[in-house]
Amino acid sequence: MKHLLFLLSFSAIILSSCEDKRLQTYMANVPLYLSYDELRSSFEVLDAEDMVKPGKICFYGNHMYINEYQKGIHVVDISNPENPEIKAFINVPGNVDMAIRNDLLYAESYVDLLVIDISDPEQPELSKRVEDLFEYIIPPYDYDYPLDEIDQDIGVITGYEIRKITREVYHHPGPWPVYYDYRLESSFSSDISPGAVGNTYGVGGSMARFITYDDYLYVLESSWKLKTIDISDMDNLSVEKEVYLSGSVETVFIADTYLYVGTSNGMHILDLSNPAAPNLLSTYQHITACDPVVVEGDRAYVTLRSGNTCGGTADLLEVVDISDKYEPRRLSSFSMTEPYGLGIDAGTLFVCEGKHGLKIYDASYENSITSHLLASFPGINAYDVIPLGDILFMIGEDGFYLYDYSDLNSISLLGTLLTTPSE
């Protein structure tokens, strides 16, 4: 199923243009809206709140920024890894992705981009809102019922109510429209960028749609678009370029001067020698599956996952030789169990396997990685990781975990922030 495509419009239920319209009463998903005025007056810094549905993560300074899916961002003090502490909550309706550069946090809020000053991490301030920078998102709904009419002029859609409605429709029954929120599969963050002179960057994991490099913010939109946003001038943030890529784009990752875009059936490599205009060099193709990518040296590590909206049928870890950026080639492939995000640090590979937990491998054995398991942490829900120095940050459905991997023979849990189940 392709992401966020209006596969069948309401009028597509017509089998004959000659048929009459009739009033019909039926149960449907009726959109619930947040008005644009309410959206644009919603930014607020609140006291610490419990995590319920954590999402993407980004490390900066001594703090971890953790997305609360479509609600906002938790500010977590991790200066003491054994006792991480939520210090504040930034209310950002519709937030899923974020990236950080030079004390500024770039966060989406439905159709808007927010620029948030985090020079004082626990007292963030809104510096700028760029309205209507992103495309209008139709959230997923209960596909057992049709979708009622949508009016984008009212506001952004925050959810749906199943109720009885009466509408004038073509009498002939037919299929209902299907939408998909393309942000869901890549529901965790990445913002790992090489340092440029005068710039400092946040560090994140592998499941990303936002990432910064030099004076630019790169954003994946819909299922095929890479948007380059010039962030050099705060008073004139603008879209510099849009590149259309094949394969249902999902995640972004930067290493050296190259941008790696994970797609549902492969990986694109783009040259960032001119950061304003990413240049597509090559495409590595694999079977259809959701696909985060991380890179170290001349190796890319890719996980492929089945049983999801990407249409995947296999669960794999692939190692790709990217020494020739124009001709990437697969070196090896290994069976996994529901792999999600991953991370690599000095040849140590961290792989999240959802409800099957976290596994850590010695990746120097590139032809037999899964035979060289360093540690395994079952009984947790692992979704994405950030390996940084000697500490691994991990996010999952259960919460936020910190591990000490300074001694690979004795990797240990340092601290946790667990989620609070929603009522």
Convert the pLDDT of each residue in 215-252 to its tens digit.
999 999 877 899 999 999 999 999 999 999 987 888 99
| Local structure of residue 148 (DSSP, 8 states) | P
pLDDT tens-digit series, residues 25-49: 999 999 999 999 999 999 999 999 9
Strand partners, 362: 348
- pLDDT for 88-130, tens place per residue? 999 999 999 999 999 999 999 999 999 999 999 999 999 999 9
| CA neighbours closer than 13 Å in the CB half-sphere of residue 406 | 4
- Mean pLDDT, rounded, of the chain: 87
Per-residue DSSP letter, 357: -
Local structure of residue 307 (DSSP, 8 states):
S
Which residue, 97, 127, 112, is CA-closest to 233? 127
Q: What is the CATH number of the domain that holds 336?
A: 2.130.10.10
423 within domain boundaries: no
Domain membership flag for residue 344:
yes
Q: How many domains does the chain have?
A: 1
Q: Identify the pLDDT of residue 190.
A: 37
Q: What is the pTM of this model?
A: 0.88
Structure tokens at 362: 């010695």
pLDDT at residue 307 in the model: 59
Domain boundaries, position 334: 44-133+183-418
List for the chain the helix, strand, coil content (%; round to 5): 5, 50, 50
Q: Which residues of 92-111 are buried (b: 16+ CB within 10 A; e: fewer)?
A: bbbbbbbbbbebbbbbbbbb
* 12 located within any domain: no
Mean pLDDT across 76-82: 96
Residue 420 has pLDDT above 50, yes or no: yes
Contact between 143 and 78 under an 8 Å Cβ cutoff? The reply is: no
**77 CB-near residues (< 8 Å, 6+ apart):** 62, 63, 84, 85, 86, 87, 121, 122
- Under DSSP, the state recorded for 129 is E
Which residue's structure tokens are 């809102």? 129
Residue 11 lies in a domain: no
| 39 membership: H or E segment, kind and range | helix 36-39
Burial label for 9, CB within 10 Å (0-12, 13-18, 19+), is: exposed
Compute the distance between CA of residue 103 and CA of residue 342 in angstroms, rounded to an integer: 26
Q: What is the pLDDT of residue 308?
A: 52
Tens digit of each residue's pLDDT (9 = 90 or more) over 1-12: 333 333 333 344
Give pLDDT, residue 5.
34
Report the pLDDT value the prediction gives residue 4, as an integer from 0 to 100.
Answer: 35
Question: Residue 158's pLDDT is what?
Answer: 94
Q: Residue 161 domain-assigned?
A: no
Mean pLDDT over 64-84 rounds to 96
Average pLDDT over residues 383-393: 94
Integer Cα distance of 129 and 237 in angstroms? 10
Which of 78-87, 197-206, 379-388 has the weakest average pLDDT?
197-206
Instruction: Tell me whether residue 32 is in a domain.
Output: no
User: Cα(291)–Cα(98) distance, rounded to whole angstroms?
Assistant: 19
Share of the chain above pLDDT 90, in %: 72
| pLDDT tens-digit map of 136-151 | 988 889 989 999 999 9
Kindly state whether residue 156 falls inside one of the protein's structural domains.
no
252 bridge partner residues: 261
Q: How many CA atoms lie within 13 A of 218 on its CB side?
A: 33
pLDDT score, position 157: 96
Asked whether 401 and 388 are in contact (CB, 8 A), the reply is no
- Quick one: average pLDDT of 53-76? 95
Q: Judge residue 417's burial from the number of C-beta atoms within 10 Å of its C-beta, 0-12 exposed, 13-18 middle, 19 or more buried.
A: buried
Furthest CA-CA distance within the chain:
74
Asked if residue 363 lies in contact with residue 370, where contact means CB atoms within 8 angstroms, the answer is: no
pLDDT value for 246: 85
Binned at pLDDT 50, 70 and 90, residue 16 comes out as very low
- Count other C-beta atoms under 10 Å from residue 272's C-beta: 21
